[in-house]
Amino acid sequence: MSASRFQQAVELVLRHEGGFVDHPRDPGGATKFGIARETLSRARERPASLDDVQKLTRPEAVVIYRRLYWDELRADELPPGVDLAAFDLAVNSGPVRAARMLQSVLGVTADGIIGPVTLRVAWQADPVETIRRLTRARLDFLGRLAAWPVFGRGWRRRVLAVEQGALRLASSPPPHPRSV
């Protein structure tokens, strides 16, 4: 079940991220499939060049998303829909910020680490309300960024599309995982 949830989520992310982009006003720098040079360096455990970013393959990007974003958020253990909303937020703003924002909307200590308390409260909360509150928090954060005038329209479109996908997933959740 979790592999298919990850596959669904990463496919949506990759639809939004696309191929190689090096926009001069993007503070994240050059990316391919949404993976920046800094992230690629961390994943490969060695410095990555701009050429390395350009040559990044889709399968490697998927592995990076699984290990450095999905697994970091313990998204397999989050409710359906909430996993997607948090994962896409992590891709754009980092896993620690995504965890903190999720924790804030859940009303738990926002330490940036998804642990047993966050997971328990996430499963106790209304997933639709959690997704909607996370979307509002995300748009509020993005709207305060200096790059909003350049990228805001696209960011807003993406965040709202992710929210709709997350709400669809939340409408038919599987049983509560035994590990939480």
CATH number of the domain within which 132 lies: 1.20.141.10
Indicate if the pLDDT at residue 76 is higher than 80.
Answer: yes
CA distance 7 to 160: 20
Based on the structure, what is the number of domains in the chain? 1
Residue 131 lies in a domain: yes
- The pTM for the full model equals 0.91
Residue 140 lies in a domain: yes
Q: In sequence order, which residues have a C-beta less than 8 Å from that of residue 153 and are 6 or more positions away?
A: none
The dihedral region occupied by 93, where left means phi > 0, alpha psi between -120 and 50, and beta the remainder, is alpha
- The pLDDT tens digits for 106-152 are 999 999 999 999 999 999 999 999 999 999 999 999 999 999 999 99
**Packed helices 58-65 and 2-17: angle between N→C axes, nearest 10 degrees:** 120
What is the percent of the chain with per-residue pLDDT over 70, rounded to a whole number? Answer: 94
Q: Which domain holds residue 92?
A: 2-170
Residue 178 lies in a domain: no
Residue 152 lies in a domain: yes
Mean pLDDT, all residues of the chain: 92
140 burial class (0-12, 13-18, 19+ CB within 10 angstroms)?
exposed
Calculate mean pLDDT across residues 75-104.
Answer: 97
Sorting pLDDT into bands at 50, 70 and 90, what band is 29? confident
Residue 73 lies in a domain: yes
Residue 177 lies in a domain: no
Indicate if the pLDDT at residue 164 is higher than 70.
Answer: yes
